[in-house]
Amino acid sequence: MKNSKPHKIRWSFIIFFIPVALWLFLLIVFPHLELLKMSFTGTDFYGKSGFTLENYGEFFKEPIYWRTFARTALYSIFVTFIVLVISLPVTFYITKIAKIKSQGFLTILVLIPFWVSELIRVYGWIILLRESGVINKFLLKIGIFKVPHEMLYNDITMVMGLVYTSMLFMIVPIIGVMESLDDALIEAAYDLGAKKTTIWRKIIIPYVTPGIMSGSIIVFMLVLGSYLTPKLMGGKNALWFTEQIYNSMIIYFNWNQGAAFGFLLLLLSSLIIFVALKVTRQDFKEVVK
């Protein structure tokens, strides 16, 4: 098509191309270049701005910054792993064990909380878990607790909250792949005497790996970049890295420092996703489909 009319302007192409190019350059490429530039900019003694490595230097000098960074990264990987461990049996139940009639219903049931905003979901957990919350009241009443316990504001609750808010993004892609897994493969393995663990390891897991990868990437990204859940449910004396960015940008109004932090977070997420794709030999384009 391109070569058939070489000197005629392809209007359809131009009409489609311009808005898309505007979108991608004005809202994705240029802003991130600006982010990179700002992160290498600093104001010197006389108020003149210029190139500096100071913003990144600060990150490595102050333990609180890189500790928060490492904590955020490790917790994000941990949460992604927990989400995966819960999602596999759930998706397996929905696609392979539940009655065929109830499959559609179960899928919709899983999807509904996915549409409710993260804030409302976190708020629900706050109502349940806080010192004057529903669970405390209940346990006091039946006599398990003598005094109310604060169940919010610790890392275990925060991990649970993060698992809760991101789990559906793992379940949906895995359901998509697992549905197409032919039951006959499992039946054949079973007839040949394979154990359950072997069937999982040799048949199910390898088959759903594309779903696992796309789910893991989205979940990891969401957790790493999450702000609400760690802020409202996490411990008060340890920050999430996004809170660090928010503090630099909005509270201290130090945009250069915030830009450096932001770029580091972007670098980290890209790096971990890249490594994960390489290790499992998946293609990014296939995975996000």
Footprint (CB under 8 A) of other proteins, residues 100-129: 100, 104, 108-128
| Residue found under tokens 């594309």 | 210
From the list 56, 249, 276, 282, which residue makes contact with other proteins (rule: CB under 8 A)? 249
Q: At its nearest, how many Å lie between other proteins and the CB of residue 238?
A: 17
Choose among 211, 260, 268: nearest CA to 76: 268
Residue pair 215/175 in contact (Cβ under 8 Å)? The answer is no
Residues numbered 200 to 219 that lie near other proteins (CB under 8 A) are 217-218
Structure tokens at 97: 């064990």
51, 40 in Cβ contact below 8 A?
Answer: yes
Smallest gap from residue 31 Cβ to other proteins (A): 4
Q: Which is nearer to other proteins, 147 or 183 (CB)?
A: 183
For residues 68 and 263, is the Cβ–Cβ distance under 8 A?
Answer: no
Dihedral over alpha carbons 222, 223, 228, 234 (to 10 degrees): 170
By rule CB under 8 A, what string of x and - marks binding of each residue 124-163 to other proteins? Answer: xxxxx-x-xxx--xx-------------------------
Rounded CA separation 188/193 (Å): 9
Two tokens, residue 24: 């991608």
Span of 44-52, 55-63, 145-153, 243-251 interacting with other proteins by CB under 8 A: 243-251
Alpha carbon of residue 260 to chain centroid: 21
Judged by CB under 8 A, the chain residues 80 through 99 that form the site for other proteins are 86, 89-90, 93, 96-99
* Region from 16-24, 55-63, 77-85, 149-157 binding other proteins, contact rule CB under 8 A: 16-24
Binding to other proteins by residue 250, rule CB under 8 A?
Answer: yes
